[in-house]
Structure 1
């Protein structure tokens, strides 16, 4: 048996081009589910692996290893599905919608959406949980205020990803820092010098846009009608948000995400029994089947008939297939071959930064999951940083920016499918309004080429010698 070899750049371009052709034709032309395209793509890369001299058993082990590396995302997504279902049934999400319609002025609604989702995401460390709870509420409020939903979704995602890449509780933050061999808090501090200016710029953009749209299309009669419909369907009062406060508190206390979110789901079911008059079986059933309502208000039906573990199964399959696909790509060294083709040009911090962002984005496109990007990017790029004596904090920051902030931009990725499904806005519709992502990527590139907030290993050594 011949010894395995790395693929040539021609083989890499061919297999990745064929992958994109399969995905785009299945989703855009044939209107087939992305999961089927990913499953077929498995066998495409397996065929490449066999051509390169690998055994099928080794390739299958690469698939299972890739899946196991991201199983935490599967567990969290299951818990989030249960949480969304019971929080709607328990009146948590309807109460947030009601008070949002009551108190948030249309002119500052987009800014408020950005801030609320940012605070919740920083506190909880989960963009999925933020979008599945506060995000749904803000979409409903935006609809009532007559603000275009793609813009609202952009504000929701900007806030959600701000916290996801900045919170020390976030799994993506921990993953990016640990794989870059950087302390989590050091990584967060390195992120802050980029994230805070990006947040300020994004806040200004959404504030200006809010004054452009706020109040123009508002139908006060519709707002009052929605508020009344919520009151007629649910018990609405301040006590309804206690489950949300408990979950945020537990996560702030650094309790594990998955069990805390599961506890929040259980509290939602208890609230559904205690305050919304549901029987125990129906209340607990919303954790798996999601909430279902058939009111005379079509908008409420569309908005609130969601959640539950069963409605996450499509995203779970995407994550599993995407992680497996990414595991084979890593095993075959596909992205390493791509980087090796332009490695000679990686002679300064700017080029290395840009390359890291591109590799992370490609890992989202071809790995179909944020976990794949955050796992592969530091491994592939670390030698380039060490060669230039760049501090690993720069690597972890760029990996997070390129991996986390672009994950929701790919329609067939785990984040793209989840965000579009939860918010009811297609990926290509909200993508132009993911302003925080674009601003942060732009700042990362500017920092790289100007040397601003770019640290070197020798600088760290000198500081340590001076301190001693």
Structure 2
């Protein structure tokens, strides 16, 4: 006899959430075991609850596979970016960016400049991962050469990268959010600009002030000079090394698909390593898979540049697969449906609707481990509340990005958190307090929600527009 399937009660849902937090932090902080093992343990915990509620194993397995499938786009980008990082270091692209940056950027304005440079790169390419893996690594090398705390530099770099990931019409998360919210892409970007532009300006000013206080430009530049000497003696430094970056940015601006363009950029990096950096062809191609391996004679530059390759991303990819499986399991046992019902009862005004959407999106990041999951939970759990209150869907899309996209680098086991920590060499919890753009986006979004400021008027449907045209004819 088949057991009747039930939705989890509030108590059971609370138990799942508490157990998730307990398992995660016990494995990480007390047992010092990999996050991947914690997530795998959480799979079995949720499965046990699912079986108790009457779900079959095969139903939950389908949920796992569906959750993983929904995040495959991010996994493909991670593979491509890993290859890109390896060959752009071997090919001299990243070392040239570091070298020129040390020449032209003043230490006192570096933090602000790092954010702006990464923002321009991300807006042009539409990928925070690609921007962090190229311009971001270069900014980390420059900042460390200037003697700035690496966690502070990482905060500025990630802030800039997520400006583009949130605002660029080329970004997959921006396009996906507009699509899920049923909003025109540029209307979605216009709605977000009311939040993102003030957040960007305030964050840039804060980075400038802190940079000026920490480093006025009168300090010891010995490390920066040693870095430039080490790079110049190891690599052929020339503007020609920047051609692969220019080609990739141009192709992405032309709205070519991200994954093949990034992989093409990685191939260009291998060719540059062969033509200009003295690598053998096989050795240069190997950098696609295993990354860069070199010695400049400067320890922290070696630590920064000996990375990349597809293998560099394997642990990150495994973690994301397991995290996506958690999100799929929670959806399959009805946890997301229960949360949606709770939020619907609470969402009685614009402020509460804003908060519940941000919480629903953050739920997807925290328990689903990926930006894609957060966009699904943010929109699908709360979209009916906007229609019920006659609110424009551009508010839904803006709130979803505020709670989902910009929070991914804040969670240590999410795709954004793991990638940024691995790529920049700074733990998530170390750079988190300095990711000012992300916090400002959330604060400003909530202020607008509860004050009713900068909320676009409800967009007319096609039928409503036709009726208006008939009446005015």
Normalised TM-score (structure 1):
0.97
Task: Please state if 1:146 is matched with 2:152.
Answer: no
Deviation at 1:79, TM superposition (A): 0.3
2:147–2:223 Cα contact (<8 Å) kept? no
Deviation at 1:299, TM superposition (A): 1.6
Q: Structure 1 CA distance, aligned partners of 2:218 and 2:443?
A: 33
Q: Which position in structure 1 is the counterpart of 2:263?
A: 262
Q: CA deviation at 1:463?
A: 7.7
- Does the aligned pair in 1 maintain the 2:339–2:381 contact within 8 Å? no
Alignment of 1:298-447 (within 5 A): 298-447=299-448
Q: How does 1:20-419 map to 2 (within 5 A)?
A: 20-215=21-216, 218-419=219-420
Q: 3-state SS of the aligned residue for 1:182?
A: coil
Distance in 2 (alpha carbons) for counterparts of 1:11 and 1:345: 20
Contact 1:389 1:456 in 2 (8 A): no
* Distance apart, 1:295 and its partner CA: 3.7
How far did 1:352 drift? 0.7
Q: Distance in 2 between matches of 1:153 and 1:295?
A: 22
- Once the two structures are superposed, what CA deviation does each residue of 1:206-253 show, in whole Å capped at 9, x if it has no partner? 111121122368422221111010000000011100000000000000
Shift in Å, 1:197: 1.4
- CA offset digits 1:394-433 (Å, max 9, x no partner): 1011101110111100111111111011111111111111
Q: Using the alignment, how far apart are the partners of 1:239 and 1:174 within structure 2?
A: 33
Residues 87-131 of structure 1: CA deviation (Å, up to 9, x unaligned)? 000000000000010110011111111110000001100000000
Q: How far has the Cα of 1:276 moved from its partner? A: 0.1
Residues in 2 aligned to 1:178 and 1:280: alpha-carbon distance in whole angstroms:
43
User: Does structure 1 retain, via aligned residues, the 8 Å contact 2:93–2:241?
Assistant: yes
Q: Say if 2:426 is the partner of 1:454.
A: no
SS of 2:54's equivalent in the other structure is coil
Segments of structure 1 that go 5 or more residues without pairing to the other structure are none
- Which sits farther off after the overlay, 216-225 or 161-170? 216-225
Q: Distance in 1 between matches of 2:258 and 2:375?
A: 19
State the TM-score, normalized to the length of structure 2: 0.96
Partner Cα distance (2:16, 2:259) in 1? 36
**2:15, 2:400 → 1: CA distance?**
26
367-376 or 254-263, which moves further after superposition?
367-376
> How many positions carry a matched residue from both structures?
468
Give the Cα separation in 2 of the matches to 1:458 and 1:372. Answer: 26
Question: What SS does structure 2 have at the residue aligned with 1:312?
Answer: helix
Distance 1:457 1:350 in 2: 17
Residue 152 of structure 1: CA displacement? 0.8
Taking the aligned partners of 2:249 and 2:96, their CA distance within structure 1 comes to 17
Summarize deviations over 1:419-460 as a string: whole Å, max 9, x none: 011111111111111111111111111111111122353777
Deviation at 1:134, TM superposition (A): 0.6
Q: Give the distance between the partners of 2:460 and 2:453, measured in 1 at CA.
A: 14
The whole-number CA distance in structure 2 between the counterparts of 1:457 and 1:144 is 51
CA distance in 1, matches of 2:89, 2:166: 27
Partners in 1 of 2:370 and 2:459 — Cα distance?
35
Q: Residue 452 of structure 1: SS of its match in structure 2?
A: coil
In 2: Cα distance, 1:139 partner to 1:463 partner: 51
SS of alignment partner, residue 170 of structure 2 = coil
Residue pair 2:67, 2:324 contacting (<8 A) in 1 also? yes
Deviation by residue 1:51-96 (Cα, 9 ceiling, x = unmatched): 1111111110111111111111111110000000000000000000
Contact 2:131 2:161 in 1 (8 A): yes
1:271 to partner: Cα distance: 0.2
1:216–1:103 distance in 2 versus 1, CA, 3 Å: closer
Contact 2:169–2:186 (8 Å) recurs in 1: yes
Q: Does structure 2 retain, via aligned residues, the 8 Å contact 1:109–1:214?
A: no
Q: In structure 1, what is the Cα distance between the partners aligned to 2:143 and 2:387?
A: 47
Deviation of residue 281 (structure 1)?
Answer: 0.7
1:144–1:218 Cα contact (<8 Å) kept: no
Distance 1:214 1:133 in 2: 25
Report the more deviating stretch, 185-194 or 266-275: 185-194
